[in-house]
């Protein structure tokens, strides 16, 4: 290798370059070792950042305190470089170490390469994000980091341009923070990527996207992914010029240290100072070990390509460049490489030791107890073999001890010996601990949990003036915007006209365009905009115009927002409120109520289904005091129905998980929600005329569902239950049925079979007849409940038809 000394000036000091070289080598060693660990069976799967090291070091130099990252699984070197990941923590995640001290990103819940910083303390309150370098938590679906990135950057715009937010210096310093996104070249084919890029161009926000272009997406080369095989070429129309806003787009090679450092400085400066989105297309990157541990790239890359990758390896190139410039002798780089190997290995060993120790403790007690059982039991042979199997397990994990102890307890089931009791206690303790390890933090567990908000009843004046339901909401939103400058609402048609049903009418004029804002038609990034802004401590109300269009956003709600608290084990939160309207209007795409789909895909987000706008307003007030994310589905046909405005419109709250009895009755309990409440109440009135007394219960919130188990109390009285909604058969009605009959043990009190009354299997047909014959109507409810009663007492209820 040549060591020609030149006079070329370094862009950084030599020591900094060597420091960078060292980090690149350490990160590479971590990748190489990581793959070996998987092949040795010590970890299940591995995906690594080899080949992307130098660009990430350059990016890290432009990443300042208060900045945010939203990236993907290749970014280990960046995380090392900003000081937010140690090699030991990196391996702890590879092994799935369930302690947040060991794996702060996910507490062992996520595959390796899913990075995150802990933004919250143990109480669920913000650590100082402006003092830290922050990373939002990665998710696996490719490009799904992009919608959130829009919101992380958008928050800076709000902090800079909203006067009332100037005081929130613990959250932002005048919006100086840049949101850095990273994405692989192949993933830029996803719709979410294009939607996010367009949104950022429109919004003009400090967002810096890096595309790590290694020309492959697993085995598939670039010509299958990208028009012209080149994403920056495709995006050239987004480039800003003197006349028009847009992006500043840069291209650079992933092995060119000097150019990378310069490029990132330039790009970050543009984004930070001008609030203009920038895009850095980092080309000619490599994957020395191929995509992941699932395969080998020799299967699909040509010999020429593999050779090219070796020659263009960014660390090889950095080494050449250092030597060509005569910064140091080769020997010094050799030493750095040797040292890096040692450092990575030591960190790996320490992570393994800590991981094993965390597991061994429970295993040790299990083995001791099994030994005691063996001594005390008449089945000592069987117990001995269970114990020695456990002792002989190579790299045991938690489930090995659980399986062994449970097996032993089966053997001991008829023996009354002290060890049996101790083993039972062991199982109970471990079950509790494993629940905490693997199932905690699905929702907020902080003191601001939505379930802990104080209930404040609505109060009414003597004057019982009735207004349109939408005006109740309008008064509620007015109060919320006045009360808290962190609250802002946005969505399609939300700004100028105050949403299609005018619950924000006049509020943009009153609070300005940034507090009540129109957006493009882009449901997925509306949600992303909300997630990112909520992550940064703001209180967004993101609107999806109709429930039917939530489908465009269901993936990001499901994969990102719903998993956020869970996947960080309480390390991050995004208390986003999603407002939408549905249940009852007309036609296939304006009257859906796909509640089963929603309930089953977004556990982790509360789902609120108020029957009227007063209940909805109370929910908004509750949520704005809490740090949980929630979806509120208003009734499409309720905005013009008359309601009274409580005098404490900004303060009263409706609790989550508390059903309300709308009508008391003796014969049958009807469990329902949303627009169906009115249909059911009508039917109940008509049934009463036939002598059938219905108790009607509005569940009010589907998630959480009746936390106090009040519905079963009604069934104890009526001994019959009906679940009614507008979803397809087996949808949310089945969900409610499972909750009440299984969880609340309602089955014990039934004298008749439980029934569900639902919409048809197809989407609802158009116009009033379409609605009538597609969704449950009063007559159908009447008939079904009459038939239920007739079955029990045919004499009293003769056949009608
Ligand atoms: C939505 C989705 N589809 C498919 C996958 C499976 N998958 C994981 S990585 C990957 C390739 C991504 O390639 P690229 O974006 O170029 O990133 P690279 O791994 O090359 O850095 C695929 C298809 C996924 N994780 N998410
Ligand atoms: Mg790629």
Give the range of the structural domain holding residue 188, as residue numbers without chain letter: 14-118+128-328
216-217 vs 220-221, strand pairing mode: antiparallel
- Which numbered ligand comes closest to the C-alpha of 146? 1
**Closest atom, ligand 1, to C-alpha of 143:** 1
Final residue of a structural domain among 594, 610, 644: 644
The structure tokens 């939103």 sit at 477
**Is 389 inside a domain boundary?**
yes
On whether both 105 and 191 belong to a single domain, the answer is: yes
Q: Could you identify the atom of ligand 1 that is nearest to the CA of residue 213?
A: 16
Q: How far is the CA of 184 from the centre of ligand 1 (A)?
A: 7
| E strand segments, 99-235 | 134-135, 179-184, 207-212, 216-217, 220-221
Question: What CATH number is attached to the domain comprising 488?
Answer: 3.40.50.970
Bridge partner residues of 182 (DSSP): 210
Only one residue has tokens 């597991």, namely 359
**CB neighbour burial string for 621-644, b if at least 16 within 10 angstroms, e if fewer:** bbbbbbbbbbbbbbbbbbbeeebe
Same domain membership, residue 514 and residue 622: yes
pLDDT digits over 107-121, tens only?
Answer: 999 999 999 999 999
Mean pLDDT of 686-713: 98
Indicate the SS3 state at residue 185.
coil
Q: Whose CA is nearest to atom 21 of ligand 1?
A: 184
Distances (CA, A) of 746 to 68, 692, 702, 704, 739: 49, 21, 17, 18, 9
pLDDT of residue 591: 83
- Taking CA atoms only, the protein residue closest to ligand 1 atom 26 is 141
Residue ranges lining ligand 1, Cβ < 6 Å = 74, 140-142, 184-187, 212, 214, 216-218, 291
Q: How far is the CA of 634 from the centre of ligand 1 (A)?
A: 37
Among protein residues, the one with the nearest Cα to ligand 1's atom 15 is: 184
Q: How far is the CA of 218 from the centre of ligand 2 (A)?
A: 7
Ligand 2 center from residue 287 Cα (angstroms): 8
| Residues carrying an active site annotation | 590
| pLDDT attached to residue 465 | 86
Report how far Cα 540 is from the mean position of its chain's Cα atoms.
Answer: 16
* SS3 label, residue 793: coil
Condensed to tens digits (0 to 9), the pLDDT of residues 576-625 reads 999 999 987 778 888 889 999 999 999 999 999 999 999 999 999 999 99
Q: Does residue 481 sit in the same domain as residue 502?
A: yes
Residue 111 lies in a domain: yes
- Test site for ligand 1: of 218, 221, 558, most ligand atoms within 8 A of the Cβ: 218
Q: Which two tokens stand for residue 122?
A: 């143990």
Q: Please state, in angstroms and rounded to a whole number, the distance separating the CA atoms of residues 57 and 491.
A: 37
152-188, pLDDT tens digit by residue? 999 999 999 999 999 999 999 999 999 999 999 999 9
Is 59 inside any structural domain? yes
Specify the number of domains making up the chain. Answer: 4
User: Would you state the pLDDT for residue 84?
Assistant: 98
Point out the ligand nearest to the CA of residue 216.
Answer: 2
**What does the alpha-carbon distance between residue 577 and residue 630 come to, in Å, rounded to a whole number?**
5
pLDDT tens digits for 504-536?
999 999 999 999 999 999 999 999 999 999 999
Does the pLDDT of residue 10 top 60, yes or no? no
| Together in a domain, 238 and 295 | yes
Q: Specify the residue with its C-alpha closest to ligand 1, atom 11.
A: 217
Based on the domain organization, do 146 and 264 belong to the same domain? yes
- Counts of helices then strands in the chain (DSSP H, E): 26, 22
59: left (phi over 0), alpha (psi -120 to 50) or beta: alpha
Contacts of 797 (CB under 8 A, 6+ apart): 690, 692, 786, 789, 790
What is the whole-number distance in angstroms between the Cα of residue 144 and the centre of ligand 1? 11
Q: Which residues contact 215 (CB under 8 A, 6 or more apart)?
A: 185, 221, 222, 229, 285
DSSP state of 188: G
Minimum CA distance residue for ligand 1 atom 20: 217
What is the 579 CA–ligand 1 centroid distance (Å)? 31
Among 112, 186, 226, which residue has the most ligand 1 atoms within 8 Å of its CB, making it the best to mutate? Answer: 186
- 142 CA: nearest ligand 1 atom: 26
Q: What is the pLDDT of residue 520?
A: 98
Residue 464 has what pLDDT? 76
Give residue 12's pLDDT.
59
784 within domain boundaries: yes
SS (H, E, C) 448-501: CCHHHCCCCCCCCCCCCCEEEHHHHHHHHHHHHHHHCCCEEEEECCCCCCCCCC
Average of per-residue pLDDT across 201-211: 98
**pTM of the full structure:** 0.97
User: What pLDDT shows up at residue 503?
Assistant: 97
Residue 481 falls inside a structural domain: yes
Q: Which of 418, 439, 460 is the last residue of a domain?
A: 439
Which numbered ligand comes closest to the C-alpha of 213?
2
Domain boundary among 276, 310, 328: 328
For CA atoms 617, 622, 624, 628, the dihedral sign is negative
> Which atom of ligand 1 has the smallest separation from the CA of 218?
11
Q: Are residues 628 and 696 in the same domain?
A: no
Q: Do 165 and 116 touch, CB atoms closer than 8 A?
A: no
191 alpha carbon to ligand 2 midpoint, in Å?
Answer: 17
Please return the burial class of 338, using the count of CB atoms within 10 Å of its CB with bins 0-12, 13-18 and 19+: exposed
Among 73, 187, 191, which residue has the most ligand 1 atoms within 8 Å of its CB, making it the best to mutate? Answer: 187
* The predicted structure's pLDDT at residue 54: 98
The ligand minimizing its distance to the Cα of 190 is 1
pLDDT digits 0-9 by tens, 349-393: 999 999 999 999 999 999 999 999 999 999 999 999 999 999 999
Residue 7 — pLDDT band, cuts 50, 70, 90? very low
- Is residue 334 one of the residues assigned to a domain? no
Angle at 351 between CA 347 and CA 355, to 5 degrees: 170
Q: Give the length of the chain.
A: 801
Same domain, 473 and 528: yes
Nearest residue to 674 (alpha-carbon basis) of 736, 621, 730, 718: 736
CA distance 480 to 486: 10
Same domain, 228 and 317: yes
pLDDT band at 19 (very low <50, low <70, confident <90, very high): very high
Tell me the per-residue pLDDT of 449-504, one tens digit each, with 9 for 90 and over: 999 999 999 999 987 789 999 999 999 999 999 999 999 999 999 999 999 999 99
> 97 and 117 in contact (C-beta within 8 Å)?
no
Which residue has a Cα nearest atom 8 of ligand 1? 142
- The domain that contains 678 carries what CATH number? 3.40.50.920
Strands (E), 620-693: 630-635, 642-644, 660-663, 668-672
Mutate-to-test residue for ligand 1 from 217, 229, 290, highest number of ligand atoms within 8 A of CB:
217
Domain identity same for 537 and 590: yes
User: For atom 1 of ligand 1, which residue has the closest CA?
Assistant: 141
Q: pLDDT category, 2, cuts 50, 70, 90?
A: very low
Ligand of minimum distance to the alpha carbon of 186:
1
* pLDDT of 261 over the 80 cut: yes
Task: Please provide the average confidence, as pLDDT, over all residues in the chain.
Answer: 96
Is residue 652 in some structural domain? no
Ligand 2 centroid to residue 45 C-alpha, Å: 18
565: in domain: yes
- Which regions of 486-620 does DSSP assign to beta strands (E)? 487-491, 516-518, 539-544, 577-582, 606-608
- Residue 3: its pLDDT value, please? 45
Residues 604 and 494 grouped into a single domain: yes
Using the mean position of ligand 2's atoms as its centre, give its distance from the Cα of residue 257 in Å: 20
Question: Which ligand 1 atom sits closest to the C-alpha of 144?
Answer: 1
- Which residue has the CA at smallest separation from atom 14 of ligand 1? 184
Task: Give SS3 for 216.
Answer: strand
Residues 410 and 511 occupy one common structural domain: no
Distance CA 728, CA 714 (A): 25
Closest C-alpha residue for ligand 1 atom 17:
184
pLDDT of residue 587: 86
What number does the ligand 1 atom closest to the CA of 212 have? 21
Q: Are residues 753 and 629 in the same domain?
A: no
pLDDT at 558: 98
Instruction: Specify which residues 540 forms β-bridges with.
Output: 488
Closest ligand 1 atom, residue 291 Cα: 19
């Amino acid at each position: 290798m040549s060591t020609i000394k030149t006079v070329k000036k370094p862009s950084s000091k030599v020591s900094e370059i060597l420091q960078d070289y060292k980090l690149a080598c350490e990160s590479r060693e971590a990748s190489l070792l990581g793959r070996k660990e998987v092949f040795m069976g010590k970890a299940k799967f591995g995906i690594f950042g080899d080949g992307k090291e130098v660009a990430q070091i350059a990016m890290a130099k432009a990443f300042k305190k208060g900045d945010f990252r939203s990236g993907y699984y290749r970014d280990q070197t960046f995380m090392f470089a900003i000081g937010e990941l140690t090699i030991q923590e990196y391996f702890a995640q590879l092994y799935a170490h369930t302690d947040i001290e060991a794996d702060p990103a996910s507490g062992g819940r996520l595959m390796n390469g899913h990075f995150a910083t802990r933004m919250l303390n143990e109480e669920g309150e913000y650590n100082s994000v402006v003092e830290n370098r922050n990373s939002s938590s990665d998710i696996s679906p490719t490009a799904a980091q992009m919608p959130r990135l829009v919101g992380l950057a958008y928050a800076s715009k709000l902090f800079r341009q909203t006067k009332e937010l100037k005081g929130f210096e613990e959250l932002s310093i005048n919006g100086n923070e840049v949101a850095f996104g990273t994405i692989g070249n192949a993933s830029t084919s996803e719709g979410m990527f294009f939607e996010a890029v367009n949104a950022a161009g429109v919004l003009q926000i400090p967002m810096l996207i890096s595309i790590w272009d290694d020309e492959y997406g697993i085995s598939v080369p670039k010509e299958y992914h990208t028009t012209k095989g080149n994403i920056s070429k495709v995006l050239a129309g987004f480039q800003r010029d003197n006349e028009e806003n847009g992006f500043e787009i840069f291209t650079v090679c992933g092995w060119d240290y000097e150019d990378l450092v310069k490029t990132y400085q330039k790009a970050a400066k543009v984004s930070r100072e001008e609030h203009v989105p920038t895009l850095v297309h980092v080309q000619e990157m490599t994957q020395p070990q191929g995509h992941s541990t699932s395969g080998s790239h020799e299967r699909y890359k040509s010999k020429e390509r593999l050779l090219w990758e070796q020659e263009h390896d960014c660390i090889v190139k950095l080494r050449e460049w250092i030597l060509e410039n005569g910064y140091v002798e080769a020997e010094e780089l050799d030493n750095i490489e040797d040292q890096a190997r040692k450092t990575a290995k030591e960190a790996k060993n320490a992570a393994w030791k800590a991981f094993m120790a965390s597991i061994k403790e429970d295993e040790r007690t299990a083995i001791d107890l099994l030994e005691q059982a063996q001594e005390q039991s008449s089945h000592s042979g069987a117990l001995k073999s269970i114990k020695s199997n456990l002792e002989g397990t190579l790299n045991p994990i938690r489930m090995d001890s659980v399986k062994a102890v449970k097996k032993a307890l089966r053997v001991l089931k008829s023996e009354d010996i002290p060890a049996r009791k101790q083993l039972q206690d062991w199982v109970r303790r471990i079950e509790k601990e494993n629940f905490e390890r693997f199932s905690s933090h699905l929702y907020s567990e902080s003191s601001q949990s939505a379930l802990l908000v104080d209930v404040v009843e609505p109060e009414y004046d003597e004057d019982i003036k009735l207004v349109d339901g939408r005006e109740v909401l309008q008064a509620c939103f007015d109060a919320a915007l006045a009360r808290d400058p962190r609250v802002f609402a946005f969505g399609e048609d939300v700004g100028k006209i105050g949403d299609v049903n005018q619950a924000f009418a006049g509020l943009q004029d009153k609070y300005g365009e940034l507090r009540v804002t129109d957006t493009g038609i882009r449901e997925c990034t509306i949600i992303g905009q909300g997630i990112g802004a909520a992550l940064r401590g703001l209180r967004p109300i993101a609107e999806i115009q109709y429930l039917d269009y939530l489908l465009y956003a269901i993936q990001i709600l499901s994969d990102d927002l719903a998993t956020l608290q869970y996947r960080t084990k309480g390390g991050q939160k995004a208390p986003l409120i999603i407002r939408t309207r549905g249940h009852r209007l007309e036609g296939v795409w304006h009257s859906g109520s796909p509640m089963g789909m929603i309930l089953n895909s977004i556990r982790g987000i509360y789902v609120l289904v108020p029957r009227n706008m007063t209940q909805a307003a109370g929910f908004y007030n509750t949520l704005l005091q809490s740090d949980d994310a929630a979806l509120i589905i208003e009734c499409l046909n309720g905005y013009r129905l008359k309601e009274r405005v409580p005098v404490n419109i900004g303060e009263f709250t409706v609790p989550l998980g508390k059903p309300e009895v709308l009508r008391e009755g003796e014969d049958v309990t009807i469990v329902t929600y949303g627009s169906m409440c009115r249909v059911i109440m009508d039917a109940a009135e008509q049934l009463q005329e036939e002598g059938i007394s219905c108790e009607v219960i509005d569940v009010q919130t589907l998630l959480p569902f009746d936390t106090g188990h009040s519905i079963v109390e009604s069934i104890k009285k009526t001994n019959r239950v009906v679940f009614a909604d507008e979803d397809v058969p087996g949808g949310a009605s089945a969900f409610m049925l499972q909750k009440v009959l299984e969880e609340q043990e309602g089955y014990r009190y039934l004298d008749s079979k439980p029934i569900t009354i639902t919409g048809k299997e197809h989407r609802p047909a158009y116009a009033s007849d379409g609605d009538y014959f597609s969704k449950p109507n009063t007559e159908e409810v009447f008939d079904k409940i009459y038939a239920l009663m007739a079955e029990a007492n045919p004499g009293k209820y003769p056949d009608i038809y």
